[in-house]
Structure 1
Amino acid sequence: TKVHFAEDCVGEKATSVIEAAEFGEIVVLENVRFHAEEKSNDEEFSKKLAAHADLFVNDAFGSSHRAHASVAGVTRYLQPAVSGFLLEKEIRYLSDSVNSPERPFVAILGGAKVSDKIPVIENLISKVDTIIIGGGMAYTFLVANGKSVGKSLLQEEMVDTAKDLMKKAKEAGVNLMLPFDFVVADDFSNDANQKVVDEDNIPDDWEALDIGPETALAFGNVIKSAKTVVWNGPMGVFEMPSFAEGTDAVAEALVEATKYGATSIIGGGDSASAIKQAGFSDQVSHVSTGGGASLEYLEGKDLPGVTSLTDK
């Protein structure tokens, strides 16, 4: 198939290239994000994009959480507007897992900041059986439980929120699991001195950079018993080999759960990078192509790129 490239996406150059293309050929337009009107969802810009075609197919799940001209605005002037096969697959996996999961349903949440995951936790508390907390966000929960975390990543302003989330989980009968041993280091470096300590013995001048082996085992046992698992966020600084074992252990448990019939969904972003780095991308049910989009879906938000379609 012949592919044509246009150096514009709405101007005369784009129009001339499109008109010159023959049936069965493809025209690739300049990146719309070079235009300020794209992010502002400008009406005239949307109309110009719509003028190029007879119908619209959105197959970019990774952009579907953005109310931008080429994602949502164009659908007001170009219909039918339908989902592509990848978008359909993404929504089907996420929707089924969150709204009608086979149980036990386990959500694994990691990453750096509690503030990034509050809406996800609040939305999932009424849906899951277990929430596993790891990564940098775990240390705020530990402080909320009265623990000292040394120089570990901490959002002090979120400690009370962490307390409230743990209370809500308990009231809902949800098992909220926190790490209880850690790999700590005397510097934020792959070559730093490191050791494993429990939650009561993190040195004041050291920082935790990964979950410990006992925690990884406990998390893994729960994951392997699940029938639906959603993972969003690593367990530690997995980019450094010295602190990737906890994240790798979670990935291995997900693979094991999948082998025994669980639906396992990796929520894009760092989680997708982590499962790829561990070499298991093809051994889980689904690896999302959109970190931000999957996160917003797990928060319970509508995605503009989906809700704007005439045929979902």
Structure 2
Amino acid sequence: MQLLKINDTTRRPYIAIIGGSNFLRKAPALHLLASQCDGLFLVGKLSFQIMNGLGIPVSSCLIEKNATKEVLQLIEIAHNRNIPIYYPTDLWCLNSNNNEQLEIFDSAELLSGLISLGWTPVDIGPSTLERISSLLSSYKKILWIGPTSFDLTEEFSVGATQLGQILNKASHNSCDIILVGGAACKAVKGMSDSSSQYTASENESIVWEFLKGRILPGIAALDKSYPYQIPWDDVFSDTTQPLFVDIGSGNGLFLFQMARNWEGLNFLGLEMNEKLVVRCLQDVASAGKRNLYFLSTNATSTFRSIVSSYPGQLTLVSIQCPNPDFNKEQNRWRMVRRMLVEAVADLLQVNGKRSIYSRTWSLSCLE
């Protein structure tokens, strides 16, 4: 699977068809896709969150109440970029009182009352598939990630099968197709031929982690040859501005203050703790800051490949309080290694500055 192909936006227009559930956990990846793609079509349980965020009545049993903030942020990103967000217009539904009774309902009709009468959505309906087919004819690149169904079973997979047929047709019209996850790959299996243009991976979880900005261990090990690519033009409003990198950015308070005080600089925080990075990115989106960004990564191995792709100049690198908990055996290593220092020295502009602030100076000494 060529992970970087997902972030490659040279072929446009680019649309992502996104299925599955758990909006909160996927929020950083969804926000990234909203900043890169020219359209989003949400299916599966994710679509209920978007419909609720757009003010469409949705039964409370289908809403992730702890994801409301992230849903509204996604809608805001799409609105600011003037890209559409689509959702199913009709759904195949199963009657809980009769497991053999299947019917098609309008989405709004179902979500506003039929749920309480025992009808449960199981997959996208024919009108939704017709809409997808009509939309895709104007796109040059399509990502399908996650199942179209509303549960994790494959007993009813009409939507996935027909979507696979639609994408197979699109692949014959010089459209790049990226398939991620077992449902997507299974749907087109056996349809493709020599004229089809597919990139496929059944390992959906790895792709979600990649889209969140997490450096995968196997990739990190090959850092020097791995061209880590950041959509800088989507991250910062002006990529010609000098870059300030804070390694081990923690809760991000330092960089937030710097970004407020120095609008003429771009600030990038590199932090290993993914939860802290997710919170920082949420705060960045809420504040509308376009000169501040955070990545979850081990900068010791990835600094060079991340920063080397930045269009402007690197003017300052800071490492503050590199003081790990030495009671944990896995933390018993020096914080600043030679490979990181060499990468910083190579990439800093002439007269650029690097600063290390440590409670224990020996921790930052080179090996």
For normalisation by structure 1, the TM-score amounts to 0.62
Within the candidate set 186, 210, 217, 2:123 is matched to: 210
**Structure 2 match to 1:146:** 55
Change (3 A) 1:167 1:146: same
Cα shift at 1:226: 1.8
In 1, are the aligned partners of 2:163 and 2:187 still within 8 Å (CA)? no
Cα shift at 1:217: 0.9
Percent identity over the alignment is 24
Cα shift at 1:311: 3.9
Change (3 A) 1:228 1:300: farther
Change (3 A) 1:164 1:195: same
Q: Structure 2 matches for 1:10-25, cutoff 5 A?
A: none
For residues 70 and 97 of structure 2, the distance between their equivalents in structure 1, rounded to whole angstroms, comes to: 27
**Structure 1 match to 2:81:** 172
For residues 304 and 165 of structure 1, the distance between their equivalents in structure 2, rounded to whole angstroms, comes to: 28
Change (3 A) 1:288 1:281: farther
**Structure 1 match to 2:133:** 220
RMSD across aligned C-alpha pairs, in angstroms?
Answer: 2.5
Greater per-residue strand proportion: 2
Give the partner amino acid of 2:80.
E
**Structure 2 match to 1:197:** 105
Cα shift at 1:298: 2.5
Change (3 A) 1:234 1:289: closer
Cα shift at 1:135: 0.6
Give the partner amino acid of 1:184.
C
**Structure 1 match to 2:91:** 182
Give the partner amino acid of 1:255.
N
Give the partner amino acid of 1:182.
L
Within the candidate set 76, 86, 96, 2:5 is matched to: 96
For residues 238 and 246 of structure 1, the distance between their equivalents in structure 2, rounded to whole angstroms, comes to: 14
Q: Structure 2 matches for 1:284-295, cutoff 5 A?
A: 284-295=197-208
3-state SS of paired residue (1:132): strand
For residues 212 and 264 of structure 1, the distance between their equivalents in structure 2, rounded to whole angstroms, comes to: 22
3-state SS of paired residue (2:48): helix
Change (3 A) 1:120 1:280: farther
3-state SS of paired residue (1:207): strand
Gaps of 5+ in 1: 1-89
- The aligned length equals 217
Give the partner amino acid of 2:15.
V
Cα shift at 1:176: 1.0
Q: Structure 2 matches for 1:290-301, cutoff 5 A?
A: 290-301=203-214
**Structure 2 match to 1:22:** none
Within the candidate set 25, 39, 51, 1:130 is matched to: 39
Cα shift at 1:238: 7.6
Gaps of 5+ in 2: 227-367
Change (3 A) 1:281 1:158: farther
For residues 77 and 88 of structure 2, the distance between their equivalents in structure 1, rounded to whole angstroms, comes to: 19
3-state SS of paired residue (1:286): strand
Cα shift at 1:155: 1.5
